[in-house]
Chains A and B, each alone.
Chain A
Amino acid sequence: MTSAYNLPHLTVGALMRHIVAETAARLSERATGHGTATATGRAPGPAAGAAPGHEPGPPSGGAPGHTPGGPSSDPPDRDRARPRRQPVKGHPTPMATTTAPHQTPAGDTEPRRPERAAAHVPGAIGADLLRWATAGSVDDGKSTLVGRLLYDAKAVLADQLKAVERTSHDRGQHAPDLVLLTDGLRAEREQGITIDVAYRYFATPRRRFILADTPGHVQYTRNMVTGASTAELAVVLVDARNGVVEQTRRHAAVAALLRVPHIVLAVNKMDLVDYAEPVFTAIAREFTAHAGSLGVWEVTAIPISALVGDGVVTASARMPWCTGPTLLDHLERVDVGGEPAARPARFPVQCVIRHDGARHYGGQLTAEVLRVGDRVTVLPSGRTTTISSIDLLGRAVGAARAAQSVTLRLADELDVARGDLIAPAHAGPVATRDVEAAVCHLHDRPLRPGEQVLLRHTTRTVRAVVREVYGTAELGPNDIGRIVLRTAEPIAADAYEDARETGSFLLIDPADGATRTAGMVGGAPWCPCCCRHWCWPGAGTAPANRRRGCRARSSRRWAGSCPPTR
């Protein structure tokens, strides 16, 4: 296990060349069939969300009755040549979480990196991408960490640094204040807190990163939700002096509810507690227990000092007891490339493009593959037809895959409009007018039973009424809860845990258009009424368990401040 990963001094140009070389190495690794080692020290378990015994396979060619061969934009043998990755998530016990730095998922079997191939791969400009967000209470050091990371990773350009130095100097500070790299609003700089999410884009030789630095203040939880909703990893910071506080719990709960796949605990300001291991261990243990009660199986805990730079990009000599990876190390290596759980194709229709008497349906496929000739259902009407052609931005293709924006044509003249969902005929979601969901309420005006709202699901907006708010009279700003809605027209939604895109929705105020609530169809992974019980033990792994529901629903409302359960 590396204890320090020193980022070499690279210009961005060198970085690009480096990425190209890396890519070449990966390609040659793949071609020779080596490199199946993964960043896990454990025996691989089943993929989270996949049924037990499900054999993961490449996304194309798995469905019965279809001729294999990926979308035509891809060389057909691309998937086959690649060694299959083993998922690292989904260890079936909640306590299999890590409490010490040397037990991170990266484990101690560091994947051996092949010698870099010298071959130049033209056009290979990409690297893996990780979207991640910061989280944690106000002043725990999120923005400082981001600034430190960008600075130490040499992702701050000269003029940006100069501007920060100038401002810091004007304020009488001796060293450049790194929070100024992301706290870009006047009010943020004046108050010294983050108000809204800042997005930053940077790359190391191993990965590209899109990072959302979110605010810790409880009043701006809505902005934290915005930043975390698309993240694949959240770094929750805790001030080593204060330990886990209420806002830490709330953010952890939001991240769990949004099902951010990877949670990292960064115990920050270690410099203020003499880099003492027991402080770190105690916080890691407490946080891990809390996360476990929220259904988060795995937490990687890393001690850092964002201000000084210990454990962020370079390992710290002041924490010899920490043998795990640095934060950047972990961010670069955490396995997010695993295959998505097999789920049926979904195509929300965004717009109808009429041309030469033909109707083309524009949209972005959110899952799996759709092929010319597939039988499909148009929801909520339920009529079936066949896909007659697929256009990938002006080019006819045989298939479209997840995340591609395409236009479809259908064999029959059906009445299809914006807001409809096209899904495989045998595997469409059930259209319903009764929606049960976990929600984060994001607006100052509380949400009450009986209220009329607009529900925005994929590209469809329908009127709805709040039928029930569980366990409480109303949901106030930043509350998490569970509600039941009745819609005026049916919507075709998946459970959020199966599909983020088709399982999420917004509640919008019909009067002024404000976004009031973020909703996730299905339930919370834990019981939002008491936060003490697992609603469905093993949620995400055993479909049978999922439907069992909570038997211990109490009338207490949960507002993010329950004590840890274990």
Chain B
Amino acid sequence: MTPPGSVGADTDNPYALAHLDALESEAMHIFREVAGEFERPVILFSGGKDSIVMLHLALKAFTPAPVPLALLHVDTGHNFPEVIDYRDQVAQRHGLRLHVASVQEFIDRGELRERPDGPRNPLQTVPLLDAIEKNRFDAVFGGGRRDEEKARAKERVFSLRDEFGGWDPRRQRPEPWQLYNGRHSPGEHVRVFPLSNWTELDVWQYIEREEIDLPAIYYAHEREVFSGSGMWLTPGQWGGPREGERTERRLVRYRTVGDMSCTGAVDSQAATISQVIEEIAASRLTERGATRADEKVSEAAMEDRKREGYF
């Protein structure tokens, strides 16, 4: 008996699907479960590779009909311009409704206070929960993967959030087989992670196979950068570089895309997708370890943010 979602070989076992096909099929199943059980689902779309793959999967899951989902972007105000352009083009090309929750607006209204030295990533939670509540979204797709981080490794595919958007890792619902329980009370919502079982390498191999277009900053390019928090950061409105930090031109690429103040570039010559795959396969650092300043702060930084309602 083959267990549900059993992922098989490309070569050895003709009864199982090739591994990318199996991951894709599992994601389709998850998207369709949500379409069948929820009223107002939305995809968190940042313009990063995981959310781009997620949207690609959603488009496939509902062909030939249009995707019955809206997009929601939490804009920190310090995003890469290339990524914002990409986001807008994608929404337009597929005729999708794009909701933008703006961190800047919350700061301007005085509802959020910026930490003088801190990145804006943790500030995304309030605008996110506000948008979910105002639009009454009941299922929120996130591109989180279990291989990313140790708290994420613990999360269910369907992850219930209480009225405050909070996640209680000690009280997660059991989720045996592929029977996802999406029941929730009014005011609660469910975060759904269709890429739970994907690794970074899987994502890139899938991007290659499906010939998915990405924002150019994922590939090696020359950029004016400076060294901050032990990574290459791009100067910009967000405040860097500070005194004493000098910029230089380097050949870099981004491995993840997030807030400019805390997302670092890595030295890279990988200008094509196959070079990127080779580079990642040989890397001795995890993608977040190599590129995220905010996670170096504390051991349980991610768990704490998730408890409060973060992605």
Contact = CB atoms under 8 A, between A and B. Distances in A.
Contact of A405 (B61, B176, B183, B283): B61
Contact of A259 (B1, B12, B176): B1
A230 B115 CA distance: 44
Contacts of A225: 174, 176
Interface in B72-103: none
Contacts of A497: 1
Contacts of B212: none
B17 A404 contact: yes
Contact of A513 (B32, B36, B185): B185
Chain A interface residue number, banded: 35 or more
A337 B3 contact: no
B60 A23 contact: no
Nearest to B27: A405
A184 B154 contact: yes
A463 to B, nearest CB: 13
B18 to A, nearest CB: 6
Interface string B7-48: 111111111111111101110110011011000000000000
B60 A393 contact: yes
B216 to A, nearest CB: 24
B62 interface: yes
A34 B285 CA distance: 40
Nearest to B169: A185
A140 B199 CA distance: 29
B3 A157 contact: no
Contacts of A418: 36
Contacts of B64: 353, 355-356, 360, 391, 394
Contacts of A259: 1
Contacts of B133: none
A337 B61 CA distance: 28
Contacts of A258: 176
A201 B199 contact: yes
Contacts of A210: 7, 197
Contact of B278 (A13, A131, A181, A498): A13
Interface in A139-185: 157-160, 163, 167, 181-182, 184-185
A199 interface: yes
A232 B185 CA distance: 35
A59 interface: yes
B10 A196 contact: no
A209 to B, nearest CB: 11
A259 B177 CA distance: 12
Interface residues of B, number: 77
Given A125-B10, A129-B19, A226-B174, A512 B185 contact: yes
Q: Classify the interface of chain B: helix, strand, loop or mixed.
A: loop
B108 interface: no
Contact of A201 (B16, B26, B197): B197
Interface string A182-211: 101111010000011111110000001010
A508 B36 contact: no
B172 interface: yes
Residue from A82, A351, A391 having most chain B Cβ neighbours under 10 A: A351
Interface in A436-450: 442
Interface string B274-290: 00001001111110011
A158 B153 CA distance: 18
Interface stretch (B119-127, B143-151, B241-249): B143-151
Contacts of B3: 131, 229-232, 500
Contacts of A200: 147, 153
Contacts of A366: 4
A279 interface: no
B281 A222 contact: no
Interface in A93-152: 124-129, 131
A459 B151 contact: no
Contacts of A126: 9-11, 18-20
A201 B147 contact: yes
B176 A504 contact: yes
A124 B11 contact: yes
Nearest to A15: B281
A186 B151 CA distance: 9
A79 B14 contact: yes
Interface of A: 11-16, 23, 26-27, 48-49, 58-59, 70, 73-74, 78-79, 82, 124-129, 131, 157-160, 163, 167, 181-182, 184-187, 189, 195-201, 208, 210, 222-223, 225-226, 229-232, 258-259, 261, 337, 339-341, 350-351, 353-356, 360, 362-364, 366, 391, 393-394, 402-405, 407, 418, 442, 454, 456, 459, 497-501, 504-506, 508, 512-515, 518
27 contacts: A73-B21, A129-B6, A157-B285, A157-B289, A184-B154, A185-B151, A185-B154, A185-B169, A185-B170, A187-B170, A196-B172, A199-B196, A200-B153, A226-B175, A229-B3, A351-B32, A351-B35, A353-B63, A362-B32, A366-B4, A393-B60, A402-B15, A405-B24, A405-B26, A454-B183, A459-B33, A505-B179
Interface of B: 1-22, 24-26, 28-29, 32-33, 35-36, 60-65, 146-147, 149-151, 153-154, 156, 169-170, 172-179, 181, 183-185, 196-197, 199, 201, 205, 278, 281-286, 289-290, 299-300, 303-304
The 4 A-B residue pairs with the shortest CB-CB distance in the complex, in nearest-first order: A184-B150, A513-B183, A159-B289, A126-B10
